[in-house]
Amino acid sequence: MLVMSSSLLFLLCPLMSSFMAAAQPAGCKIRITDKGLEMLKAETGKFVEEEISNISMPEMKGKEGRFQYTITDVKINDLNLTHAELQFVPDVGLLFDVQDSSISLSFHRRILYWFFYDTGNINASAEGVNINTVLNLIRDEEGRLKINNITCDAKITKMKAEFSGTLGKVYDFMASFLTSGMRFILNQQICPALNHAALVHVNSLLETIPVRTEVDSYIGIDYSLIEDPVVTSRSLDMHFRGMFFDLSDPNSTLENLAVEPVIKDYDRMVYLALSEFFFDSGMFSYYKAGVFQTHIVNEKMSRDMEMLLRTTYFGVIMMLNPALADAPLSLQIAVNSPPKTTIKTTGATVVMTAIVKVMLLPPGQAPFQLSSMTMETKFNAKVSIRGKRLAIHADLRRFKIFSNQSALESLALIPLQAPLKAMLQMSVVPLINNWTKKGVRIPLADGMDFIEEVVEYHNGFIVIGANLHFTKGLREMMEGNNQE
């Protein structure tokens, strides 16, 4: 009995681990609505037309009574997908459906009848072209969106041909068996062409969406899907991990305890939702990488600030060694805990606490600490999107310093409050904004951008609604990816 229980636990452990991994909240979500799909329909139609137009038809040879024929150089000249629809298929993926459309073709004939030999071109048209293609969307092993399977059914109802040349009228009666053969071959060629286009070309385009990639020289971001995409009749929802990590220690990450973002709307083409965890994991990773620290000395420190520090700590310096009264001073600022984001309906704020050390730098001697104080800051954070990049602009809202040594010294630091705040606003904050304005790429394929975005703040998360803009056609996007 004990052996059976142990075996059962051994079998269940991997299942429980995978369930726990999948149960983690999403830090980032994207919804593509039926309005976005409507815009994609035109590009999809162009792409399908190009794929079918590129179908390579084999040479046809045959004999009918005393007629011997050879058909070569088959070309699809025009494809008119007048009745095409692109729709969501709940719990499956996408449906591209073409009904009652037409194809114009031309091919070259060589015909031998008794001792008569004739050549010429044949113009043909296929009518009642119906194509039904269903794409099954999944999350692959890397957490990437992928077309896993394609179900295709293609049928051409009828085809007719017009002969030209010396014996064109005589050969009209041959049109029925020639077009029957051509229609059969076309029916057999359409679905394999679309299967290859979806499983190879479209999947290669999906590979341009970042999954786990570097943001800069310090941190990276994980945009892997945590589950298969959720497809309804109105939308395609993708739930991403949305987590930053320290490149030097990628396994040391922040636990996601934040409120999971919720997207309720369908009015825009696309929605992006980001939780507090998304931003906190970024700041946690920068904190782990040692980015949140600076040393203000020499030309980095304003003359007024240096004079104020020297006046404030003049007594300490004189007690230490009067000969050091003119020694350089510096401020060492180091964040002592990961900054924390709070998102409410009124906006987003970031709280940051740092240790500020006032240092005396005697030439040829070890630095001496004159004071240690805690600096508490609160920033307003404004989120925006440009193209495919998410950027943040910070404004200093609250600033406070107090001594780590005594309440009496805290009182003595009051004159430093305003100058230090001004220094942060004029030097540190612009550096932060110059850094964050570069932004981080959102999980969107190359050749597509957000436009006309609207940012909404909710309790615990942000939702950005936008429309989509194609900077390239689907074909150009895929060919660009293949050349990289």
Digit-coded pLDDT (tens) for 190-221:
888 888 888 888 888 888 888 999 998 999 99
**If pLDDT is split at 50, 70 and 90, which confidence band does 456 have?**
very high
If we measure between CA atoms, which residue out of 205, 150, 135, 77 comes closest to residue 473?
Answer: 205
Digit-coded pLDDT (tens) for 220-242:
999 999 999 999 999 999 999 99
Please state, in angstroms and as integers, the Cα–Cα distance from residue 44 to each residue in 96, 333, 446, following that order.
8, 54, 16
Which parts of 210-305 are beta strand (E)?
A: 212-214, 219-222, 230-231, 235-240, 243-246, 270-275, 293-297
**If residue 70 lies in a helix (H) or strand (E), which one and from where to where?**
strand 67-80
pTM here is: 0.83
- Judge whether 35-209 and 242-474 match in fold: no
What's the pLDDT score for residue 316? 84
What value, to the nearest 5°, has the Cα angle with vertex 264 and ends 258 and 268?
120
- Residue 420 and residue 371: Cα distance in Å, rounded? 14
- Residue 103 and residue 123: Cα distance in Å, rounded? 11
Helices 34-53 and 474-483: crossing angle in degrees, nearest 10, is 70
What CATH fold (topology level) applies to the domain 242-474? Answer: Bactericidal permeability-increasing protein; domain 2 (3.15.20)
- Find the range with the poorest average confidence among 175-179, 298-302, 347-351: 175-179
Question: What DSSP string describes 357-386?
Answer: EEEE--TTS--EEEEEEEEEEEEEEEEEEE
Structure token digits, residue 157: 């109802």
What's the pLDDT score for residue 8? 36
Phi, psi dihedrals of residue 458, rounded to the nearest 5°: -120, 175
Output the furthest CA–CA distance in the chain (Å, rounded). Answer: 123
Percent of the chain at pLDDT exceeding 90: 34
Q: Does the pLDDT value for residue 263 go beyond 70?
A: yes
**If pLDDT is split at 50, 70 and 90, which confidence band does 9 have?**
very low
- Find the range with the poorest average confidence among 56-65, 78-87, 309-318: 56-65
Amino acid at 324: L
Q: Domain-by-domain residue ranges, the chain?
A: 35-209, 242-474
Dihedral sign, CA of 174, 175, 178, 181?
negative
Total count of residues recorded for the chain: 484
Whole-number average pLDDT of the chain: 83
Domain spanning 35-209, CATH architecture: Super Roll (3.15)
Higher pLDDT, 183 or 380: 380
What's the pLDDT score for residue 481? 55
What's the pLDDT score for residue 5? 35
Mean pLDDT confidence for 362-379: 90
Q: Does the pLDDT value for residue 14 go beyond 70?
A: no
**If pLDDT is split at 50, 70 and 90, which confidence band does 173 have?**
low
Q: Does the pLDDT value for residue 6 go beyond 60?
A: no
**If pLDDT is split at 50, 70 and 90, which confidence band does 68 have?**
confident
Half-sphere CA count of 80, side-chain side, radius 13 A: 11
Mean pLDDT confidence for 246-253: 90
